Chain A
Amino acid sequence: MNAPENTSAVAISGLVKRYGSTTAVDGLDLEMPRGQVLALLGPNGAGKTTTVEICEGFRRADAGTVRVLGCDPVGQHASLRPRVGVMPQGGGAYPAVRAGEMLRLVAACAADPLDPNWLLEVLGLEPALGTPYKRLSGGQQQRLSLACALVGRPELVFLDEPTAGLDTQSRRLVWELLGALRRDGVSVLLTTHLIDEAEALADQVVIVDHGKVVTRGSPAELTADANASQQLRFRAQAGLNVQLLTDALPEGCVVLEGDPGAYVVRGRVDPQVVSTVTSWCAQQGVLAEELRVGRRDLEEVFLELTGRELRS
């Protein structure tokens, strides 16, 4: 049975999922309109994969409601499956199967699939056609998995960490592909812990941590500075005395060294501040590189909200 076209691609409210005493998803709400790209962004263990697997019908929610294209992903799994493409996190092929065999098998399950040979070619898998799956590189396995998710021409795709383990060229290719999906009206829900990926691809970014939505919005909304305070960033040699520089700047400006050699001046950044920073650096005999004034980026929003400590 088909849901009316005006329903959301994905609608989640109050979703809870526990594994023993661990609460993986803790009251998550999410609304994804059709035709959008939504990025579920969060650190490892934030509950992204669990959320996606519940949407895919592979896990049952402990509480809350989930609707995918207007349907119950568990109860109406059979009618949803032809309409939804799934790229799981890792795996998804017989150990000894060749890339072409696997994609042709998945294609045979669809009524009007994309041409598997074309898909293999554009994803750069042609050189690996005769290679058993378990001997493919991680990036090749990822691209085959993406091909399997797309070959049936789905309305909605779930991509769990689609660019994990890909080199830069492949990542660009996947981004381009996701752009084409969006253009052609396919709804895309992807998980990622890569901030630039969420920023480059998504109409809507939902930042999750500890199974909860921390914040959501378009990349522009999320990076718009609530306090209107701008910042100046530059790179120079590591270990400059930031206290000295702070003292040289007007009241209210503060200088921090994030990663070694990456400096941020927070506060009211006016032309005078820029001038002071460059001349102070000149006095130290240091060249301030990549100097730019601007709004905070998504990475900062993310770190602010999810903390700076490492997660396993």
Chain B
Amino acid sequence: MTDTSTDSRFKPGTFAPRPGTGSAWRMLRVHAKTEATLTLRNGEQLLLTLLIPVALLIGLTVLDVIDMAEPRVDSVAPRIFALAVMSSAFTGQAIALGFDRRYGVLKRLAATALPRWLLVSGRVVAALIVVAIQLLVLGAVALALGWSPSLGGLLWALVLVLLGTLSFGALGVLLGGALKAEVVLALANVIWFVLLLAGGILLMPGALPTGLDVLVAALPSGALTEGLHTVLTTGDAPSFAPFLVLAGWGVLAGLLAIRTTKLS
């Protein structure tokens, strides 16, 4: 054993054990802040969560590619909000989780005093922070394009966005927690694209042939778009259907993810 006790770099007692768990609030705050910062710093994530939605919001409002009632922006905005939620809570979350597992982050955090419920909560809070930022930006752009939402529906929209984030987040964890990072990357992007085109976002269930409309309304993308569109254009309380669909997907994905999510 080399005698290093005389060395001055580490004073005696420097490493004297004093183990203990940090305060839950502080752990949650620092974890969520780290996760949200990393998402907002990531160029590909920003492209997915902000740039593409902003471009689609402006494009679909200005260009007459899809048949919509005037003013077009009132109909475009809710769809883009749903897309934004799906982009960050599902696709972004899945890809980040896939690569975090690859890099041993989950194992690293699972080896600290951070309890499991906080490991999940930190990611959820980070996802909600990112969604809030997305909606503030997209909302501002929409207002600039002349968006006039029904104020009575804003509160319902908030509830739908919250539920949508949790539901898509659970689906993202289900995908990102089980497969190899490259497979997650490919699948998460393909599913995003398919749901955007055919999952009720660009073409809402109401615009689809009978049969197909029921199917698409039962997808989380269709349910969230339909729900947001109803409350923000009419201000009416939405039907139970979107809530049931989103909660159903969320609970199902969550229960499955508990069994399938691997730390590495």
Which single member of A96, A111, A134, A181 contacts B20 (CB below 8 Å)? Answer: A111
**Complex interface: chain B residues within 8 A of A200 (CB):** 1-2
Interface string of A96-133 (1 = CB under 8 A from B): 11000110111011111110000000100000000001
Q: Let me know if B259 is at the binding interface, CB within 8 A.
A: no
Contacts of B5 in A (CB 8 A): 179-180, 183
Q: In the complex, A232 Cα to B21 Cα: how many Å?
A: 55
Q: Is A86 located at the chain interface by the 8 A CB criterion?
A: yes
On whether the beta carbons of B113 and A152 are closer than 8 Å, the reply is yes
Contact partner of A58 (CB less than 8 A), chosen from B18, B34, B105, B263, is: B263
The interface residues of chain A lying within 8 Å CB-to-CB of B2 are 175, 179, 200-201
Cβ–Cβ contact A97 & B20, under 8 A: no
Asked if B105 and A154 make an inter-chain contact with CB atoms under 8 angstroms apart, the answer reads no
Segment of A14-22, A87-95, A249-257, A294-302 engaged in the interface with chain B:
A87-95
Whether A88 pairs with B17 at a CB distance below 8 angstroms is no
B10 adjacent to chain A (CB < 8 Å): yes
- Name which residue of chain B comes closest to A87, CB basis: B111
Q: How many angstroms between the C-alpha atoms of A183 and B37 in the bound complex?
A: 39
Stretch of B23-31, B57-65, B155-163, B227-235 contacting A (4+ beta carbons < 8 Å): B23-31
Partner of B15, one of A56, A91, A148, A184: A184
- Using Cβ atoms and an 8 Å threshold, which residues of chain A touch B15? 114, 150, 153, 180-181, 184, 186
A88 to B251, CA, bound (A): 33
Q: Which residues of A contact B16 (CB under 8 A)?
A: 153, 184-185
A185 to B19 CA separation, bound complex (whole angstroms): 13
CA distance A185 to B34 in the complex (A): 33
Do A108 and B108 touch across chains, with their CB atoms under 8 A apart?
no
Do A92 and B22 touch across chains, with their CB atoms under 8 A apart? no
Chain B nearest Cβ from A170, distance in angstroms: 14
Any B CB within 8 A of the CB of A155:
yes
Q: Interface code A131-158, partner B: CB below 8 Å = 1, 0 otherwise?
A: 0011000000000000010101111000
Do residues B1 and A154 form an inter-chain contact, with CB atoms below 8 A? no
Task: Tell me, yes or no, whether A63 is within 8 Å of chain B by CB.
Answer: no
Q: Is B4 an interface residue (CB 8 A)?
A: yes
Asked if A66 is at the interface of the complex by the 8 Å CB criterion, the answer is no
B152 at the interface (CB under 8 A from A): no
Partner of B38, one of A83, A97, A110, A181: A97
Option from A109, A180, A202, A203 in Cβ contact (under 8 Å) with B4: A180
Chain A residues with Cβ under 8 A from B116's Cβ?
A: 78
Contact call B20/A112, Cβ cutoff below 8 A: yes
Q: Select the residue from A154, A181, A183 with max chain B CB neighbours within 10 A.
A: A183
A78's partner among B4, B104, B115 (CB-CB below 8 A) is B115
Taking a contact as CB atoms under 8 Å apart, the answer to whether A108 and B19 are in contact is no
Question: Is residue B213 within 8 Å, beta carbon to beta carbon, of the partner chain?
Answer: no
Q: Is A27 an interface residue (CB 8 A)?
A: no
* Cα distance, A94 to B36, chains bound together (Å): 12
User: Does A183 lie within 8 Å of B4, measured CB to CB?
Assistant: yes
**Known interface pairs A108-B30, A108-B31, A180-B7; A101-B108 also in contact (CB < 8 Å):** no
Beyond A88-B108, A96-B38, A202-B1, whether A105 also contacts B31 by CB under 8 A is yes
Contacts of A109 in B (CB 8 A): 21-22, 27, 109, 112-114
Contacts of A292 in B (CB 8 A): none
> A88–B4 contact, CB under 8 A?
no
Q: How far is the CA of A121 from the CA of B91 in the complex (A)?
A: 37
| Residue of A whose beta carbon sits closest to that of B31 | A105
The yes or no answer to B180 lying at the interface (CB within 8 A) is no
User: Known contacts A155-B17, A181-B15; is A105 also within 8 Å of B1 by CB?
Assistant: no
* New A-B pairs, 7, CB < 8 Å, besides A82-B20, A105-B34: A81-B110, A92-B103, A111-B18, A113-B22, A180-B7, A181-B15, A201-B1
**Chain B interfacial positions (CB closer than 8 Å to A):** 1-5, 7, 9-10, 12-22, 26-27, 29-31, 34, 37-38, 41-42, 99-100, 102-105, 107-116, 263
Complex A-B: 23 CB contacts under 8 Å: A58-B263, A82-B20, A86-B111, A96-B42, A101-B34, A105-B30, A105-B34, A106-B108, A110-B21, A110-B112, A114-B14, A153-B17, A153-B19, A155-B19, A175-B2, A176-B10, A180-B9, A184-B12, A184-B13, A184-B17, A185-B16, A185-B17, A186-B15
